[in-house]
Amino acid sequence: MAEIEMQDFSGEVQSPAIAGIVEALSRISGSMDMKTEQLQKVRLSPVPGLDASDPRRIYQAPGGSRLWLSYPEPTIYLNNAPVFSGDLQYSIDYIGGSITFNGDYKPSDTDQLSVSCTHISEGSYNSGGCELKILFSAGFAGMPFTVTSSAGESYSGVVPSSLVAYVSVKNTNTEYTISVTDASGSPHVTSVTTGQYYGQYEVSLGVFTATILVKAVKGATITAKDSAQATYTKTAGEDGNAAIYVSSADNYTITSEYNGVNSDTQIVNVSEDGASYNVTLNFITLLVTVESGSSVQVKNGLTTLSGTSDGTVLFYLPNTGTWTVTATLNGMTASTSVSCSSYKGFNVTIDYISQTLNNNSWQVISEVSSSGKASSYWEVGDTKDIVLNGTVGILQLDNFTISTFIIGFNHNSELEGENLTHFAIGKISQKMVALCDSKCGASGSDGFCMNTSNSNSGGWKESHMRNALLGSSSAPDSPPAHSLMAALPTDLRAVMQPVSKYTNNTGNSESSSAVTATVDWLWLLAEFEAYGFSLFSNQHERNSQKQYGYFAFGNSTIAYKHSFTSTAVKWWLRSPYDGNDQYFCLTDTATEDDVKQAHYSFGVLAAFAV
């Protein structure tokens, strides 16, 4: 605390009133919270009215530069060189801000005297300030130190021989950083935060200082505790980072809290003086992506958190576990669940389910299908548009819009897979169409033919249609060039599911052993799947097949050319004719089925599942 030294004027001629004023100033300065200021080489001038014959010579600082503190001891300079009272026999008047030469030495008229000291500044009484009591270790004696705050306050001084410095500061609830350099030039830093009320706050600055650099989130309260439970607290800044200065080697337990939620705990072994240690604290977060304006709730047990989406909404979760996420907007509701099993960030996207199939993304359709609830929202025959791009065989498709349509829910699920929705391609203006190329109705090896030669050997499994034109045997993310799979939009291909299809994979055979399974992503319908009977195909196919609901409900098998929707067209079925080795089944332009040589080109009406 700033205090003017009580001076002994027993050898001076003075009035009792002056003696009383001196004593009063000393006591008042010791009890008030005074602001101090550093003075550097302030000029001292001879006191007016004294001449060279006077036994004393008094040199005084100008007004505003008096009321010197006794500690740190003022430094007197003669012609810019420091001098000491033992050398020149002078005494210091701290209150008056002057020195008096009492010995034989008298400065000449050309000599210049100045002082560097700490004094009580004007307007120094701070009603409601705080005082920092700084305890330095012995290695810092005589070294300069600074005290700074984020609010812009700055104070400086020299570590006294008593190793205790008092600094008056302005603010409560403010962190002050104390910095000092030791004799070797190494910096040492600590900090102290003033409390809610004005008062004295003590902080120690030892020779050992290490820094723990903590990364958390903006505004988080970060706590470091040593083995003796001494606690250091810091608030993370705009970048989510905070520096905590510790004064001893120890194991420190680092935690943080944000909006009432705790992070994980990290242990940092601090062992090296002057070193920095980095640690990252993690929260359990859940980022929900959902349409802007949605009200979002996440719930686990008795805990419910709420927020409003601006496209996303971020939740800090108080515990691990499975959280149910529910979003509502304009009467629509969507929900999902997320297992948040560790201290890290989790993400979930919620899409609203429209009962108009075409209004939903393929991702949403896939999620609804996998939940087994597709038939609760949509019906067989409902359509969703896709855009085809690319060359399929010799057919060029550029931004060609065609509708897919549902032909069955959980179709033949015992053999083909559960919770799948089966679609066909396609419809235009609600009229069923098949893709046709320029060779439609003619023979040749470059059109939409089942095989490039006039043979059904190998059945569906080895057919040119399956492997080259549809790309059915390849995964959707790596389709063959010039295949229908490659022409499908990527968002559809991303959710397509493989299906086990049973077909005569021998060719000209009536044997049950000829019927085997293939794993297909994109396929043609079998005779029984379209018509519900086996007229030309192997009779054993029907034992592993079911008629698709779309046709079982009475819808026509007649399709039209995609490019001339008024013209009916025959379209291929994947079933080989079991009566010879050249034919595959296909639909007629009436309601009957038919067979045709494998190297002819006809319409393609492919199916897939999500």
Please give the single-letter amino acid code of residue 468: A
Range in 27-36, 150-159, 165-174, 463-472 the model is least confident about? 27-36
Of 34-38, 136-140, 337-341, least confident by mean pLDDT is: 34-38
> pLDDT tens for residues 23-47?
555 555 555 556 677 888 889 988 8
- Decide if 356 is inside a domain: no
315 pairs with which residues across the strands?
Answer: 286
**Amino acid identity, residue 369?**
S
Question: Where is 87: in which H helix or E strand?
Answer: helix 85-88
Stretch among 93-107, 159-173, 183-197, 243-257 having the lowest mean pLDDT = 183-197
Residues in the chain: 610
Q: What is the DSSP letter of 199?
A: S
Per-residue confidence (pLDDT) for residue 101, from 0 to 100 = 86
- Give domain status of residue 105, yes or no: yes
What's the pLDDT at 24? 54
Rounded distance between C-alpha atoms, residue 417 and residue 369, angstroms:
12
Q: Please state, as a whole number, how many other Cβ atoms lie within 10 Å of the Cβ of residue 340.
A: 21
Same domain, yes or no, for 389 and 297? no
The mean pLDDT of 69-75, rounded to a whole number, is 87
**Of residues 248 and 124, which shows the higher confidence score?**
248
Q: Are residues 229 and 313 in the same domain?
A: no
Q: How confident is the model at residue 197 (pLDDT cuts 50, 70, 90)?
A: confident
312: domain CATH number? 2.60.40.10
Q: How far is CA 357 from the centre of its chain?
A: 34
Classify residue 31 as exposed, middle or buried by CB count within 10 Å of its CB (0-12, 13-18, 19+).
exposed
Domain-located, residue 145: no
Q: Are residues 327 and 389 in the same domain?
A: no
Mean pLDDT of the chain: 89
**What number of H helices and E strands is found in the chain?**
10, 42
Question: Based on the number of CB atoms within 10 Å of its own CB, is 430 exposed (0-12), middle (13-18) or buried (19 or more)?
Answer: exposed
Position 313 scores a pLDDT of 97
Whether the per-residue pLDDT at 14 is higher than 50: the answer is: no
List the single range of 54-63, 153-162, 475-484, 497-506 with lowest mean pLDDT. 54-63
Determine which helix (DSSP H) or strand (DSSP E) holds 93, and give its type and residue range: strand 90-93
Domain-terminating residue out of 92, 125, 158: 125
More confident residue, 593 or 238: 238
Question: Lowest-pLDDT range, 100-104, 355-359, 497-501, 568-572?
Answer: 100-104
Total domains, the chain: 4
Cα torsion 204, 208, 213, 219 to 10°: value is 0
Contact 575, 514 (CB under 8 A): no
Please name the residues in contact with 205: beta carbons below 8 A apart, sequence gap of 6 or more.
Answer: 134, 135, 136, 137, 140, 178, 180, 188, 190, 247
Q: Which residue has the tokens 């799979």?
A: 485
pLDDT at res. 125? 41
Are 599 and 467 members of one domain? yes
Residue 374 is predicted with a pLDDT of 96
List pLDDT tens digits, range 471-530.
998 899 999 999 999 999 999 999 999 999 999 999 999 999 999 999 999 999 999 999
447 plus 508 within the same structural domain? yes
- Do 40 and 25 form a contact (C-beta atoms < 8 A)? no
- Give a yes or no: residue 497 inside a domain: yes
189 found inside a domain:
no
Residue 549 near residue 410, CB atoms below 8 Å: no
Considering the domain boundaries, does residue 64 fall inside one?
yes
User: In whole angstroms, what is the distance from residue 327 CA to residue 324 CA?
Assistant: 10
- Between these two residues, 351 and 500, which has the higher pLDDT value? 500
Let me know whether 270 and 292 are in one domain. no
Least confident residue range of 110-119, 217-226, 399-408 = 110-119
Q: Locate 513 and state its tokens.
A: 């052993």
Binning pLDDT at 50, 70 and 90, where does residue 50 land?
low
Asked if pLDDT for residue 22 goes beyond 70, the answer is: no
Is 433:402 a contact under the CB 8 Å cutoff? yes
How large is the average pLDDT for residues 144-148?
A: 94
Are 78 and 219 within one domain? Answer: no
The predicted structure's pLDDT at residue 15: 44
User: Does an H or E element contain 364, and which?
Assistant: helix 362-370
Q: Residues 180, 188: contact at Cβ < 8 Å?
A: yes
Kindly state whether residues 572 and 598 are assigned to the same domain.
Answer: yes
Respond yes or no on whether the N-terminal peptide bond of residue 72 is cis (omega within 30° of 0). yes
Q: Which domain holds residue 513?
A: 377-609
Higher pLDDT, 506 or 83: 506
Q: How high is the pLDDT of residue 124?
A: 44
Q: What is the pTM of this model?
A: 0.55
Per-residue pLDDT, 2: 55
Q: Pairing state of beta strands 200-205 and 130-136?
A: parallel
Least confident of 4-13, 20-29, 244-253, 478-487: 4-13
d(CA 32, CA 3): 8
Do residues 344 and 384 both lie within one domain?
no
d(CA 194, CA 171): 7
Is the per-residue pLDDT at 126 higher than 60?
no
Whether residue 190 lies inside any domain: the answer is: no
Average confidence (pLDDT) over 358-373: 93
111 backbone dihedrals φ, ψ, rounded to 5°: -70, 145
pLDDT at 122: 55
pLDDT tier at 419, thresholds 50, 70, 90 = very high
Taking only Cα atoms into account, the Rg of the chain, rounded to an integer number of angstroms, comes to: 46
Question: How large is the average pLDDT for residues 561-585?
Answer: 97
Task: Give the pLDDT confidence of 264-280 residue by residue, as tens digits.
Answer: 999 999 998 779 999 99
CA 235 – CA 256 distance, rounded (Å): 9
Same domain assignment for residues 457 and 386: yes
Better-predicted residue by pLDDT, 344 or 109: 344
Last residue of a domain, one of 244, 264, 280: 280
pLDDT for the residue 23: 52
Please state the φ and ψ torsions of residue 88, each to the nearest 5 degrees.
-110, 5
Q: What is the pLDDT averaged over residues 338-364?
A: 94
- End position of a domain, from candidates 78, 108, 125: 125
- Say whether both 107 and 66 belong to one domain: yes
What percent of the chain has a predicted confidence (pLDDT) above 70? 91
User: What letter would DSSP give residue 462?
Assistant: T
Asked if residue 79 and residue 32 are part of one domain, the reply reads yes
Percent with pLDDT over 90 in the chain: 68
Domain membership of residue 310 (yes or no) is yes
Asked if residue 110 has pLDDT above 90, the reply is no
Sheet holding 164-169, edge to edge: 164-169, 130-136, 200-205
Greatest mean pLDDT among 195-204, 349-358, 383-392: 383-392
In the three-class reduction of DSSP (H, G, I as helix; E, B as strand; rest coil), residue 197 is classed as coil
